[in-house]
Amino acid sequence: MSANPLAVNLCGVPLRNPVLAASGTFGYGVEFASLLDLNALGGIIVKGLSREAIAGNPEPRLWETEGGMMNSVGLQNVGVRAFVAEKLPKLRDVQAPILANVFGYQMEDYVEVVRMLEDAEGLAGYELNVSCPNTKKGGIAFGADPCMLGEVVAAVRAVAKRPVMVKLSPNVASITPMAKAAEEHGADAISLINTVIGLAIDARTRRPRIGAGFGGVSGPAIKPIALRMVHEAWKAVQIPVVGLGGIATGEDAAEFLIAGATAVEVGTATFWDPTAPTRIASELGAFCRKQGLAHVSELTGTLRMP
């Protein structure tokens, strides 16, 4: 066991603590370098990368909800080539592992982005965002169809030498078949949950609060949903599970580990506290000490269901 009571191993990637900065809320990591010690993070999952740069959705893109936030940024990003040329070199001195979040509108997009990243130095692995519409098949989301999910995971697995984690959507009838499909087709880990589709309305104008109409709800309000799905996924697979969805404190993180997660990601909390990932890791360590635990892994999968 590591001398560091918070150190964990995520599908072969050593983390100094189990708290990672989630994709989409932490930029490319470098933007936060003046606000916290990037080396103290368990890991950084950079903003989602596509084959070409994407400008994103019309404004407004964010709306504060009761107990959370709604967003429809539209996966704005610089594109994989610019990331490799301009962003990744600035991350190579960061000691925390860097994972690239990857998305696409068709299977070939995922494969091509990962293929380009395979030639770049400084990455520890990939997180596949399978919640994007597949325009070749009528806009069906990869994350809502086990067969399509399996196809994209297998295709990426064929070109990726680094670990592949699959980020699952909560907008499904059951998370179990999605988790199993990811595992059976080569995923090294799964992460969940992504945002829950929602709608905010301005009653005076009778229009949506978000420029694109619908948006993804995140933050503390979705934590009970996330905990339930993490536990269900953990029971269904043998690969590591990474939990996210409303984590704002160290005790929140502990709850996800108890539900079955090996590690967690912190997203929305960084909007009001940019240091949230490192603060939460510190609070998690304090929680473990108060509980008399020698190592944080003693929490994982210890939920006592009736």
Pair of tokens at residue 260: 């079955």
168: enclosing H helix or E strand: none
> Nearest-CA neighbor of 141 among 113, 165, 106?
106
Is-catalytic flag, 132? Answer: yes
| Cis peptide upstream of residue 140 (ω within 30 degrees of 0) | no
Q: Cα 230 from chain centroid?
A: 13
In whole angstroms, give the CA distance from residue 301 to residue 288. Answer: 15
Pair of tokens at residue 131: 């919640």
In whole angstroms, give the CA distance from residue 204 to residue 209. Answer: 11
User: In this structure, are strands 8-10 and 13-15 parallel, antiparallel, or unpaired?
Assistant: antiparallel
In whole angstroms, give the CA distance from residue 215 to residue 73. Answer: 9
Place of tokens 């103290």: 40
Q: Considering Cα of 218, then 224, then 227, then 229, what sign does the dihedral take?
A: negative
Beta-strand runs (E) in 17-151: 19-21, 43-49, 62-65, 68-71, 98-102, 125-129, 133-134, 140-141
Please give the DSSP secondary-structure letter assigned to residue 58: P
Find the catalytic residue in 11, 132, 147, 288: 132
> Nearest-CA neighbor of 79 among 126, 123, 28, 146?
28
Give bridge partners of residue 114 from the DSSP assignment. none
Which residues have a catalytic role annotated?
132
